[in-house]
Amino acid sequence: MPTVSCGGTYTMSIAGASACGIDPTNGPTTSQCSSICSTGTQNCLLTNDTTVTCDIPFCGKARTSMRARRGRPTLVKHLRDSVALEAASVFAFERLARELDAHGAPPTLRRAARAAARDESRHARDMARIARRHGVRARATRARSSEAIRALVDVAIENAVEGCVHETFGAVLARFQAERAPDARDRAVLREIARDEARHAALAERVDAWARGKLSPLDRERVRAARRSAANALLCAARAAPSFPAVGMPRPAEATAMANALAAHLWTI
């Protein structure tokens, strides 16, 4: 997913949106819009049976392989999106580190966020090499990092969605790929990425626990609702996720099983 500017839009590919209960004539209902798109979405619409476009009022992190640019899923597109997502995550963690500084987070969290940014920079280069092995040229273009510091509740909501849900799923997905990818070189890289992503997911949970101690009861509920909505959206997307055996990507049934297991154990908090 491309980096989204505040007040911008992103698209989410859902192959066969009708499978998620979306009326192809009238588009998503208000509740479906909230589940499919990020918490805080102001509007969403079904542009075809594979793409939902979401209007969001605040900036988000691009840290999930279940979101993609508009268009038909292909291996070429998947690999280019994967490189773009890793590069965008560098920006996300750099911004998180600055915001943790501004909100007085413990030094261990701030250092971990900066270490994660370095990890993601390496991931982008590694994914670009994987792409080249599959005949795909992809550049890891860095986004310009915003200097704006958001309210703690907005930081916590983004962390819950992109870290606690998407990063956790990304770690499990990378581990799956590390076992299934046909190329031994790809498997070795994906094992390293999976270890890093698991550490990033653990960081998200630590940030979540710290932030909840600083937020009001109302804002804590907003964060919990964001986590639940993100989990629901990911479950829906997993049911129609494209499978690319060349890089070890799971079939929809396998992706759904992984998402369901995580939802049952982690995302119902």
Domain ranges in the chain are 75-265
Q: What is the pLDDT at residue 228? A: 85
- In whole angstroms, give the CA distance from residue 196 to residue 69: 25
Q: Where are the alpha helices (DSSP H) in 56-183?
A: 75-102, 107-133, 152-158, 168-180
User: What is the Cα 34 distance to its own chain's centre?
Assistant: 16
Tell me which H or E stretch contains 32. helix 30-36
Of 241, 236, 261, give the one whose Cα is nearest residue 251: 241
24's tokens:
């192809």
- In whole angstroms, give the CA distance from residue 89 to residue 126: 14
**Strand residue runs (E) in the chain:** 9-13, 43-48, 51-55
- In whole angstroms, give the CA distance from residue 195 to residue 251: 22
User: What is the Cα 78 distance to its own chain's centre?
Assistant: 14
Q: What is the pLDDT at residue 237? A: 78
pLDDT digits (tens, 9 = 90+) for 121-143: 999 999 999 999 999 988 766 65
Are 186 and 133 in contact by the 8 Å Cβ rule? The answer is: yes
Q: What is the pLDDT at residue 168? A: 92
Residue ranges for the chain with pLDDT beneath 50: 1-16, 39-42, 55-62, 64-71
Q: What is the pLDDT at residue 52? A: 60
- Tell me if residue 12 falls in helix, strand or coil: strand
Pairing relationship of beta strands 43-48 and 9-13 according to DSSP bridges:
unpaired
Structurally, at CATH architecture level, domain 75-265 sits in Up-down Bundle (1.20)
Helices (H) and strands (E) in the chain, counts: 8, 3
Q: What is the pTM of this model?
A: 0.75
Q: What is the pLDDT at residue 40? A: 44
